[in-house]
Structure 1
Amino acid sequence: MNKKLLSGTAASVLALGLLAGCGGNNSNNTSSPSPSASGSAPASSSASASPSASASGEPVNLRLYTWGTEEQYNWNHTVSAYEESHPGITVEVVTLSDKGDTQESMKKLDLAAASNETMDVIMFSDPSGYAARVALGMAAPLDDFIAADGYKVEEDYKVDTHLNGKVYALPGKFNPWYVLLNKDMLDAAGLSVPTDWTWDEFADYAKQLTKGDGADKVYGTYFHGPQAGGWMEYLKLMIENQPTNSDYLKQDGSSNLDDPNFRKTIELRVKMEKEDKSSTPYEDMISQKLAYRTQFFNQKAAMLPIGSWMNTEIGGTETVPLTFHVAVAPFPKNNASDPTGYTPVTTDYVAVAESSKHKQEAYDFIRWYTTEGQLVQGKNVPSWNQITGDQLEPIIDTILSGTKNPELVDKKSLVDTLTVSKASAIITPASYQSEVYKAVNEEYEKLILGNQDIDTMIANSQKRVQEIIDSNKK
């Protein structure tokens, strides 16, 4: 895909449709045909006109376009609470996929925009989709509204949503990466649950937790990637826990592979697998098509770095039951003096549509929704920094209550970890990001399978990534 934006709305929407078809889907739902978008939360009949409803004093109806379903986001209850506290405002939720499928939803959103449908609030599910549609002018800048309210996004939220120096969305839910721990194994080894640790300490824990041989062997940890250009979080462990430049490309589009922490990540992975023999062999992961859930819940690995979408499964499910005690630790940092909590994060980017005729009211809604509204919704961990551990606990209780054995989960360690976790600054994804991921993955695979050394792997990765960057500048 050419780096330059396609001209014209229709061409832009077509390009984004193709992009969405190539992208990932964090909800793990599969795309399927569905009816056209329809409102899943009808306007409250109790809402009435109010002088505060708009500048003109007329009632205002806001149309919210989202991929999230009623089951996932509790929209009816959330919208009713907002309408009750904001007389004269109604919120119509337009659900773009009845399965909560993000790819399907973004395609429908693009078509809705091309058809000039009335939209006021838009939710994007990933930074790539957010950045691409901001570039097309779909979202309005929020900086003036934020300045009038007197806060800074990077201070008030755990996710910094700035793009090219401006803010076009506020973050909703907060899904950071963390480390799942088999607490029974830690107890047997005399190890405490970490609340602040480094990758060196993580590697030491993994070494102490590794035991047995052959089919009975238990590894200290399991890394579910990289594979086929995906799950690349596992190959930038000591880059992605940094406040800025947390990916293979920098914000200006130049290569970040000369960062010493990229080499340190590769060295860590090789040491743990080849020397300490404390991580599940890469070859086994690929050849046996191992799954991270079963590796952890079947007690084949004592620790699992993974995303907190696992909150809904951490207490065990019908298909993958829990038979031991689980605890949670923050994503490790590089040095003891580094700030705690930086980790890969997924969130919802909630924006005001540029085409909205009610931008102030739309902004007021998304500010409420991404703060107090997250507590009202009660479905996800919020990105809002003002949420305390005490306020977070009821949300975690609700999430854990949906699992089979919530009593086996060390809730305090989970709440504490989620409280300290925070995201790095967004790096606008390049249109050729997948090519970069694939190249680095291929060079790592040659290394870990014994076909080249670390120096060669680093040099080849740098060379290939620079060639990809150069070819996309033409």
Structure 2
Amino acid sequence: MKKTKRMLRMLATGLVLAMTLSACGAATPTSSSETTTAENTAEKEPIHLTLWGGVPAKSGTQDVVDAWNAEHPDVQVEFVYYQNDNTGIAKLDTALMSGEPIDMFFSYYAWNLDSRVQSGIVENLDDYGAKEFVEAELMGGLENCLQIDGSLYAIPTMYEPFGLMVNQSMLDEAGVTIPENWTLEEFEEINRALTRERNGKKVYGSSLYYTYLPLNVPQSLLGADYMYTADGTASNFDHPAFLETNSTLRDMMNEGIALSYDEIFSRTLNDSAHAAFLNEDVAMIPYTSWMLRNVKNLTDFPHDFVTTFVPYPTTSDGAENPYRGILNGFLSINSQSEHKEECWEFIKYWVTDGSVTMTEKGGKISAWNKVSTDDAIIMTLGPDRDKLFDVEAYKATAYNPDNKFLINQYCTAIEELTNMYKQESEKYFLNTMDDETYINTLKERGDEIIQKALQ
């Protein structure tokens, strides 16, 4: 009996061993085929990339990603939205520095991109042929792209013209025609004419803030480095354009022909005032291209007036102010990504074919030089453009051949410098300091910030 049990155990052990050898690939045709199939399945597993951006998915971003994913089953991209404000920007920076699996990300301000480059989390794109790519494919070529220490760390994806949006009906009612090359003095006079009682409420000539800064006439005159002297070693706040512009704006606020800073702040219009404009609380506001999608949004902003466009006014000396646009939406690769080549291919797609979707749906004008001006205008302003917009005025301002792009040569402490300008300007518009104190404070604090950073 014991002998029989031992034999049964031996047979069972042999059977298990045979099964194990077969599973481990005893040389049979069936086992070889199964192994090859398993290897092929592993090879076909797609690469996954994560992209963080500050334009909502519904505004065209997800459409670009979906189109890419449909065409590239081997490289799949996931989009993660972050709010493009101080909180959202901090969230992205924290995620990058903590090593979250982010392959690509957007920056929307030169100082954010610069600080990320200095932190070592942005891949230098020069070795990928980025300079040759932007020279061949982007509006304005390489000379209009933001470079840091002579290298490209991001590719701009969109063109953003800026100027003033104006309610044409209000101009007509007031009998106002805005002259070419108008000055700040003429701007003030026209605001006075546009401020009136209308439909039982007071309508102001303008709301004068955008991106938390006062109407940036100095920038339109001097370019992206308007806060720096020519050599970048000191601040430029003693340039006459700063005082002439901001003293005019403060006079307008105090007179009540433009929204006061109190009201701008309380209604959170210091970032953008498109809601006040489309609700017909003001006749004019500073604008850039993304706001056009709100003009087209008659569900949330029903209105029956035509929006026309004019450039910023200039100073009393009639100085040329050609800086009226920027290549923006800087798309970068995380230096820690394990799939940099695939990221670079996606970036090229976004800038070219993908950018058309962003223009059509999100109002983010393609920076691709293969999109004609007429096609860009049709896509940007939409099928109801003749009803909602003064198309010719838009073309004349956004695509004036004499326009120049804002390109930063200096980024020294630029975020701190900009924040200081915001803070002191708020105090000035709240009438807590006089002209001389305001300019002296800007100059002294600006110099100190720059010189400390250069040490």
> Which residue number in structure 1 is paired with residue 239 of structure 2?
259
Q: Whole-Å Cα distance in 2 between the matches of residues 245 and 237 of structure 1?
A: 13
User: What is the identity, as a one-letter code, of the residue corresponding to 1:305?
Assistant: P
Task: State how far apart, in whole Å, the 1-side matches of 2:123 and 2:342 are.
Answer: 13
**Residue aligning to 1:166:** 151
Q: 1:294 to 1:435 in 2, by over 3 A?
A: closer
Q: Distance in 2 between matches of 1:289 and 1:137?
A: 35
Match of 1:299 in 2: 280
1:137 aligns with one of 120, 128, 148 = 120
Moved more, 421-430 or 129-138: 421-430
Closer/same/farther in 2, CA of residues 243 and 384 from structure 1, 3 Å limit: farther
Asked if structure 1 preserves the Cα contact closer than 8 Å seen for 2:324 and 2:406, the reply is: yes
Q: Which structure features the higher share of helix residues? A: 2
Amino acid at match of 1:75: Q
Q: Which residue does 1:308 correspond to in 2? A: 289
Q: Which of 34, 39, 51 pairs up with 1:65? A: 51
Structure 2 CA distance, aligned partners of 1:387 and 1:211? 42
Query: Within 1, Cα distance between the matches of 2:267 and 2:86?
Result: 29
The SS at the match of 1:303 is: strand
Structure-2 separation of matches of 1:372 and 1:382: 9
Q: Which residue of 2 aligns with 1:436?
A: 420
Residue 190 of structure 2 corresponds to 205
Is the partner of 2:81 in helix, strand or coil?
A: coil
- For the 8 Å contact 1:158–1:423, the answer to whether it is kept is no
- Distance in 2 separating the partners of 1:326 and 1:158: 33
Are 2:219 and 1:239 aligned?
yes
The aligned residue for residue 326 of structure 1 is 307
Taking structure 2 as the reference length, the TM-score comes to 0.70
In structure 1, C-alpha distance between the alignment counterparts of 2:46 and 2:260, rounded to whole Å: 58
Structure-1 residue corresponding to 2:407: 425
Q: Which one has the largest radius of gyration?
A: 2
The amino acid of 1:123's aligned partner reads F
Q: TM-score, normalised by structure 1?
A: 0.68
How has the CA–CA distance of structure 1 residues 362 and 59 changed in structure 2, closer, same or farther, with 3 Å as cutoff?
farther
- Kindly indicate whether the alpha-carbon contact (under 8 Å) linking 2:157 and 2:327 is maintained by their aligned counterparts in 1: no
Matches within 5 A, 1:328-407: 328-334=309-315, 338=320, 340-343=322-325, 347-356=328-337, 359-377=340-358, 378-379=360-361, 380-398=364-382, 407=387
Q: Is 1:445 paired with 2:429?
A: yes
Tell me, yes or no, if the aligned pair for 1:169 and 1:351 is still in contact at 8 Å.
yes
How far 1:186 moved relative to its partner? 1.8
Q: CA deviation at 1:257?
A: 1.0
Deviation track 1:220-262 (CA, whole Å, cap 9, x = no partner) reads: 322247xxxx71243x432354334134788846322122221
Which deviates more from structure 2 when the two are superposed, residues 191-200 or residues 319-328? 191-200
User: Quick one: distance in 1 between partners of 2:88 and 2:207?
Assistant: 32
Work out the percentage of aligned pairs sharing the same amino acid.
21
* Structure 2 contact 196–203 (Cα < 8 Å) conserved: yes
Measure, in 2, the Cα distance between the counterparts of 1:471 and 1:143: 30
The offset of 1:280, in angstroms, is 3.4
- Which of 99, 106, 110 aligns to 1:115? It is 99
The 1:109–1:341 alpha-carbon spacing in structure 2 relative to 1, beyond 3 Å, is: closer
Are 2:60 and 2:357, in contact at CA under 8 Å, matched by a contact in 1?
no
Paired residues of 1:178 and 1:329 also in contact (CA < 8 A): yes
Q: SS in structure 2 opposite 1:414?
A: helix
Residue 128 (1) aligns with residue 127 (2): no
- Give the counterpart letter for 2:234 in structure 1: S
Aligned partners of 2:154 and 2:331 also within 8 Å:
yes
Deviations 1:424-444 (A, max 9, x none): 113535453465135422541
Within a 5 Å distance, the mapping from 1:139-154 to structure 2 comes to: 139-144=122-127, 145-149=129-133, 151=135
Structure 1 Cα separation of the partners of residues 285 and 366 of structure 2: 23
What pairs with 1:225-236 in structure 2 (closer than 5 Å)? 231-234=212-215, 236=216
Query: Which of 254, 258, 262 is the aligned partner of 1:279?
Result: 258
What amino acid maps onto 1:73 in structure 2?
G
Alignment of 1:185 with 2:170, yes or no, is: yes
Contact residue 176 and residue 422 of structure 1 kept, 8 A: no
Whether the 8 Å contact between 1:157 and 1:383 is mirrored in structure 2 is no
After superposition, the C-alpha distances for 1:290-336 in whole angstroms (9 at most, x for unaligned) are 78345433434322123333212214544543142221223344565
Matched-pair contact (CA < 8 Å) for 2:219–2:226: yes
Please list every run of 5 or more consecutive structure 1 residues that lacks an aligned counterpart in the other structure.
Answer: 1-57
The structural deviation recorded for 1:390 is 1.8
Other-structure match for 2:14: none
Paired position in structure 1 for 2:79: 95
- The residue type equivalent to 1:454 in the other structure is D
Rounded Cα–Cα distance in structure 1 between residues aligned with 2:132 and 2:186: 45
1: CA distance between counterparts of 2:269 and 2:343?
Answer: 45
CA–CA distance in 2 between the matches of 1:266 and 1:76?
A: 42
> 2:116·2:122 contact (CA, 8 Å) conserved in 1?
yes
CA contact (8 A) 1:263 1:458 kept: yes
**Is the CA contact 2:191–2:205 (under 8 Å) kept in the aligned structure 1?**
yes
Structure 1 residue 349 displacement after superposition: 0.9
Distance 2:61 2:264 in 1: 37
How many residues align? The count is 398
Report the Cα distance in structure 2 between the residues aligned to 1:363 and 1:396, rounded to whole angstroms: 27
Instruction: Write the distance in 2 (CA, Å) between the matches of 1:179 and 1:397.
Output: 16
Q: What is the aligned partner in structure 2 of residue 42 from structure 1?
A: none
Task: Give, in whole Å, the separation in 2 of the partners of 1:372 and 1:339.
Answer: 33
- Measure, in 1, the Cα distance between the counterparts of 2:421 and 2:386: 37
Aligned residue for 1:93, secondary structure, equals strand
Q: How many Å separate the matches in 2 of 1:205 and 1:249?
A: 33
Structure 1 residues 175-207: Cα deviation after superposition (integer angstroms, max 9, x where no partner): 443211110122234444667655454334334
SS at match of 2:399: helix
RMSD: 4.2
Asked if structure 2 preserves the Cα contact closer than 8 Å seen for 1:69 and 1:100, the reply is: no
What is the alpha-carbon distance in structure 2 between the residues aligned to residue 62 and residue 413 of structure 1? 44
